[in-house]
Chain A
């Protein structure tokens, strides 16, 4: 005998799937713009005045992640995990650039060894 089918559902509305996929894409696309602009300003490819744009993109990233989580009806734990991820996205380029720049400066004052 075949067991009855168990239909599992997390309650996502049919019309919400497309927005979920679009918002999850935007999370990383906007995130990419955030770190891309931040890095480009730091290496002087872009002018300093464009830096606020980077933070606007971080805000857009956060908004997209919030919308994605809401549409998915995520539980409390996952919500906390996503908040940690967003703080990580915000701090990451700063921390990396800080270390990078110091190593670079140190390196420029020492003979290169390859």
Chain B
């Protein structure tokens, strides 16, 4: 079917979404390799060791989400500003530079893997910083692409209608790009290195990314259920204030044990305790707007649903729950220093990471994929299909299952490795040799396979749902 898109910005967005979906698949695939290696330690030994599979798994996660975020912004800009994105030619060129850089970095991770541990390694193979392993040349490339993206956003926002959503995104994306610079310095003091590294990781994930999610949720509520812009944007400003208010100094919970001063215990405890508040607010936001708009519809005597894109809205609602559950509950589990002393670096962290990244970000970005499919195929009201229901159920069930399995494994580590054996070398191994830990890893693998199968169905659905005759056009 020919594309119904007339906007070049929206066409570019679909390119971003397509590459994001490919890297999403790579993330899951390398996650499966790493999960198998927990169960069968010799799997792909010296071909693709756990250290490399893990690098690929978590870097692919960051990359596909950044691609999908850029795509989301290019998608909504023409709708919000009323004009075509300014500098779209540059944006397209930067897209190809970004894709080429990511492909080269992945090939280097796969086939070169390690270097001589000097400046050559840092510049051309890997910087060795968790989540930000990209070599220095790629770092510089990412900054250039991010600045180009920020230029597109600012130039378009200033020329066209600057809505509240666009204004929030302008401030947020500048912080997003600027914070990356904090992770580009080099120091051989590990405490100082980690101090700045957290500026990128924490302030991205628990501040700028969350604000981005707030802005995308606002856009989604307006486009999918016709929520009133004034109401939605007022919510957005509250969320921004709460997210930045609690999230910025919430960084303290990463400074408990890395050699930073002890006052971070108090700062981290206070602001981390407040961090779930905006997530609760975002949760109410979706419920409130959905209830209110459906109520208005029914008051007019029309019983039909106000939702114009069922699969996308399902993922947006899952985002509200998932953010609350993964970032809120699983984060609150171990955010206070008194208990974090025992949980830090165990599978508890991994359980939180899996559910939080999925619940807070993957869900809403998959929702944006469906919005793009709807726009590309000129569909007025898009209904769920069997495949979209299966994909959603399997992915959500798989990730929740992985989270539970990792939580059980983490609990064993907390008790054995930390509480009983005092975080000693022997305690580390004893904690991992227990039956509950081993079974936790087995179940994580099973649930990972279910997630991956769900992803395959999702891809088939995204490629075919637009052609389904059941939608209103």
B333 and A40 contact, CB distance less than 8 A: no
Which of these, A8, A78, A81, A100, contacts B234 with CB under 8 Å? A100
B-contact bits for A49-74, CB 8 A (1 contact / 0 none):
00000000000000000000000111
Would you give the shortest CB distance from A79 to chain B, in whole angstroms?
10
Q: Which residue of A7, A12, A35, A96 has the most chain B CB atoms within 10 A of its CB atom?
A: A96
| A92 in contact with B280 (CB, 8 Å) | yes
Which residues from chain A contact B284 at a C-beta distance below 8 Å?
A: 35-36, 39, 93, 96
B341 touches A27 (CB 8 A): no
Do B324 and A112 touch (CB < 8 A)? no
Query: B234, A21: Cβ atoms under 8 Å?
Result: no
- Taking a contact as CB atoms under 8 Å apart, the answer to whether A12 and B338 are in contact is yes
Q: Are B419 and A14 in contact (CB under 8 A)?
A: yes
State how many angstroms separate the Cβ of B248 from the closest Cβ of chain A.
Answer: 16
A-B contact pairs, 5 of them (CB 8 A): A9-B422, A25-B333, A40-B291, A85-B277, A99-B238
Instruction: Using C-beta atoms within 8 Å of the partner chain, give the interface range for chain B.
Output: 35 or more
Q: Indicate if B230 sits at the interface (CB-CB under 8 A).
A: yes
Closest to B414 in A: A17
Instruction: Beyond the given A43-B287, A74-B338, please list 5 additional residue pairs across the A-B interface where CB-CB is below 8 A.
Output: A17-B342, A24-B339, A36-B283, A43-B288, A100-B231
**CA–CA, A28 and B341, complex, Å:** 21
Assembly CA distance A12 to B340 (angstroms): 11
Pairs A-B, 6 closest by C-beta atoms: A7-B422, A43-B291, A81-B270, A72-B338, A85-B273, A28-B329
- Most chain A Cβ neighbours within 10 Å, of B284, B287, B333, B336: B284
Partner of B338, one of A10, A25, A100, A112: A10
| Contact (A89, B339) CB under 8 Å given A17-B419, A21-B411, A96-B238 | no
- Distance A7 CA – B427 CA, assembled complex (angstroms): 12
Q: Is the CB of B419 within 8 A of A35?
A: no
B266 within 8 A of A: yes
